[in-house]
Chains A and B, each alone.
Chain A
Amino acid sequence: MIRFVYADELERFPLLADTMFRDRAEQFRTRLGWGVTVDGKGRERDQYDVLNPLYVIWEQADGTHGGSLRLMPTTGRTMAGEHFLHLTHGVRICSPLVWECTRFCLSPGASSRIAAALLAAGIELGLRFGLEQAIGVIYTRTLGIYRRIGHAPDVIGTDGGGRDSISICVWNLSEEARDRICARSGLSSASIERWFDDSFRGPGRGSGNAAGSLVIAA
């Protein structure tokens, strides 16, 4: 299932959070060889994780992390604006209708269905809150993954060549895109909507644990 969790709520999901940051270390340091910061417990965190971003996380049946992405509004600090301005023709992308997606990560052995669910959930969030587009920094060679999922982004700019080449991309957020992703990977749009509602629903609204439930949007 998908959870939408702000950084300051991660402590409510200790196993999920711990395995997410470990999987990020595994993906970004071990597999991709990025110069990322990994703490003594094997968790990768960067300067944007302390800005209270919103994570979209796939939780496995055993409560561990299956995949995740991180969202921040482009009206605040962004990776694109602070590190990759040369890839956007010097344009500081900054609009309440455009959010930045970073640290797209899959746990080792995660299925492409998880990647699809994350992308569909990100689009769902955009539709609910009135966003139009998402930008993101990805390895150019992973473009095929998004194409297979059913929602290839447009490349804004690319840095470097070969395996290490990275790109800034833009995705349009639309119901059609969400439904296409869902159809290709056997997910139902209804379950994506339910996951969103479960994360952003208020206390006492049918969750059954009203007393203790602190809700993301609250």
Chain B
Amino acid sequence: MAGERLETVLDRLQTTKSIEELRAWVHELRDALGVAHVFYHTANLKGEQVGIFTYDIAWIRRYVVNNYSQYDPVVLGAARRFTPMDWKSLDWSTPQARRIMREARAAGVGNQGWSVPIWGPGGQLALFVVNDEADDDRWAAFTRARAKDLLVIGHLVHQHATRIVNQDTDVVAAELSPREKQALMQLSQGQARAEVAATLQISENTLRAYIDSARHKLGAMNVTHAVAIALARGIIVPHGELPKY
């Protein structure tokens, strides 16, 4: 994950306790990413629509009142897709799409966008979007450098919003297999990845896949963070300590 500031902001994500707090937090995320706008939306979290964004609220209201999501290439493009999308690759040729883009631009939305579709287990779609004003070359360089971060951040925001709506702030420990817990525990003791891999008798690349799975399941931004969460939640116990029964 690039940038100390971004790490600090993502760390702060975990401390937000309500959708309102998330709405304030997303402005910090925007600034840390150095873009014009960040937008997250899901149509169905416990039957609720949740929107977290830095767009002008007047633009969002106009968008909702006019039912623009029916024609918005960004929304239509995400249907049945799991690959991130550069807005340039979307079909803006319809009159409605061109009108949406024209009005969005007037409301301060930048000309470039990158959407990350996030699919829930039941087929629910959430969308994480980063938007900026940039020429094609600069945008290509930005998305190339940040594609991984944006995948991770989009899923983190979605996981956290889901936990808030479900009023469930605890990660389910059972999601982690004994092997994942053991890997995290050894890392928490300061062992190098090569040592951990050797102990578990797996390759370092396999360990990487296991650790990244654990990171994702714990809603962590990186491995250090995953270890911290696992320790804080009692999913793993510090070296030498007996589990508290």
B117-157 CB contacts (< 8 Å) to partner A: 118-119, 121, 144, 146-152, 154-155
> A73 CA to B17 CA in the complex, in Å?
29
> A218 CA to B85 CA in the complex, in Å?
8
The contact of B80 among A8, A95, A128, by CB within 8 Å, is A8
**Which of A24-32, A57-65, A107-115, A209-217 lies at the interface?**
A209-217
A2-45 CB contacts (< 8 Å) to partner B: 6, 8
Query: Are B82 and A54 neighbours in the complex by a CB distance under 8 Å?
Result: yes
**Which of A142-150, A158-166, A178-186, A199-207 lies at the interface?**
A199-207
Query: Are A96 and B83 neighbours in the complex by a CB distance under 8 Å?
Result: no
Task: For B92, list chain A residues within 8 Å (CB).
Answer: 202-203
The contact of B216 among A95, A131, A135, A210, by CB within 8 Å, is A95
B77-126 CB contacts (< 8 Å) to partner A: 77, 80-86, 88-93, 118-119, 121
What's the nearest-Cβ distance from chain A to residue B215, in Å? Answer: 7
Query: Are A94 and B213 neighbours in the complex by a CB distance under 8 Å?
Result: yes
> A9 CA to B213 CA in the complex, in Å?
30
Q: Which one of B84, B150, B209 has the highest number of Cβ atoms from chain A below 10 Å of its Cβ?
A: B209
Task: For A191, list chain B residues within 8 Å (CB).
Answer: none
Task: For B206, list chain A residues within 8 Å (CB).
Answer: 154, 156, 170
Query: Are A97 and B148 neighbours in the complex by a CB distance under 8 Å?
Result: yes
- With A96-B216, A170-B209: A76-B177 Cβ-Cβ less than 8 Å: no
Query: Are A94 and B217 neighbours in the complex by a CB distance under 8 Å?
Result: yes
Query: Are A96 and B155 neighbours in the complex by a CB distance under 8 Å?
Result: yes
Task: For B202, list chain A residues within 8 Å (CB).
Answer: 89, 156
Q: A119 in the interface, Cβ–Cβ < 8 Å?
A: no
Q: B178 in the interface, Cβ–Cβ < 8 Å?
A: yes
Query: Are B89 and A90 neighbours in the complex by a CB distance under 8 Å?
Result: no
Task: For A217, list chain B residues within 8 Å (CB).
Answer: 77, 81, 83, 85-86, 89-90
B4-57 CB contacts (< 8 Å) to partner A: none
Q: What is the chain A residue whose CB lies nearest that of B148?
A: A130
Query: Are B212 and A98 neighbours in the complex by a CB distance under 8 Å?
Result: yes
Q: What is the chain A residue whose CB lies nearest that of B82?
A: A73
Q: B63 in the interface, Cβ–Cβ < 8 Å?
A: no
> A125 CA to B210 CA in the complex, in Å?
22
Query: Are B180 and A215 neighbours in the complex by a CB distance under 8 Å?
Result: no
Q: A103 in the interface, Cβ–Cβ < 8 Å?
A: no
A-B contact pairs, 5 of them (CB 8 A): A75-B119, A97-B216, A133-B209, A170-B208, A218-B91
Enumerate chain B interface residues (CB-CB to A < 8 A).
73, 76-77, 80-86, 88-93, 118-119, 121, 144, 146-152, 154-155, 175, 177-180, 200, 202-203, 205-206, 208-210, 212-213, 215-217
- Which 10 A-B pairs rank lowest in CB-CB distance, beginning with the nearest? A130-B147, A130-B148, A217-B89, A154-B203, A202-B89, A95-B216, A90-B177, A154-B205, A89-B179, A95-B212
